[in-house]
Amino acid sequence: MAFQDFKILGGSDYVGLRNFVEAVSELKFWIYLLQTFEYVCISIGLGFLMPIILAVLLTEIPKGKILFRMIYYLPAVTTGLVTLFLWKNLLYDSQPGGVLNALLLGFNALPVLVAAGLKIVFFLAACALIAGLIYQTVHPWMQPRGRIICGLIAAAGLTGLLALLAYLARAGGLPGITGAFISKFDFAAQQFLRDPKLVMLWIVVPTIWAGAGPGCLIYLAALKGIPEEQYEAADLDGAGLWNKVMHVMVPNLKALIIINFVGAVIAGFKASGNIFVMTGGGPEDASMTTGLYIWYNAFMFLNFGVATAMAWIMGALLLGFTLTQLRILNKLQFRNVDVENKTK
């Protein structure tokens, strides 16, 4: 089909590489491919670590594990289409009476003292977090890889904090900085899915909200398979939560993390259904991805030859991820933890 001027009712003509030339020559195809990369980066950056963090927290809390598991899994019980319409028509309502806008604008009604207290608390919490990461970076027992990770996160946080202070100082100098902390909130109603600059972010959030729970349970089941002897040895060595995560949990979950990462990247590139429901590719094509553009070409404009050529191009880009996933799966050994424990 990719080498034909395909017609549903027959009479298709062989056109050689013309469809591929037309696909790669179209500027929109490359723009939408870049927007697909943007969608994938936002989705992975915000949503990939969330199930892992939730699973680790569930293993550490002493009580209420079943309750929290149920709460995290509840969004997955609802049909995906219903979830998307819930966020689109209720939570993302751009009117001031919309759920999220009402919550956001509610901060504007807080008294000055309460608003100033919240700002100072958030600022001090950010400073404490950055200071803790810097301490982890320079601590002698930290492994080189852990130091690099902590250092990068600390550098990013410190850069963002300094940029914020510089912006406030540029607007009004030192009085501008102090005035920003001792003033009321001044939030404006958000446009959400109508905002071309942030529409990708708002599309990703519902998928993270719905997918974090099931992913959390998968990682939680994997964490249950880690032998207790490893945790006991870590406790005897005086390891804290961070060292347990880095030296016990992560090595045991490495294969699962890599497989899920590759799968998440591939799923991100194929994403089109949720974007079609939320925005249809708008506003101003700001949320149009390659997968959705292929769908429009094929089933709206009936240009099957070009659409198939675009699909082959996108598939070739993802071939490396797929081969990596298959190679990892080929090396894995799946074992039954209960049988091993009984044997021991």
Distance of alpha carbon 164 from alpha carbon 180, whole angstroms: 11
Level-2 CATH architecture, domain 4-93+197-343: Orthogonal Bundle (1.10)
Distance of alpha carbon 317 from alpha carbon 30, whole angstroms: 13
Residue by residue, pLDDT tens for the chain (344 residues) are 999 988 888 788 899 899 999 999 999 999 999 999 999 999 998 888 888 888 888 877 777 778 888 888 888 888 888 888 989 988 998 888 889 999 888 888 888 888 889 888 998 998 998 888 888 777 766 667 667 777 888 888 888 888 888 877 776 667 777 877 888 888 888 899 999 988 999 999 998 888 888 888 888 888 888 888 887 887 787 777 777 777 788 888 888 888 888 888 888 888 888 899 999 998 889 999 999 999 999 999 999 999 999 999 988 888 877 787 777 777 766 555 554 444 44
DSSP 242-272: HHHIIIIIHHHHHHHHHHHHHHHHHHHHH--
DSSP run (H or E) holding 152: helix 144-181
Residue 169 has which token pair? Answer: 């100082």
Cβ distance 283 to 194 under 8 Å?
Answer: yes
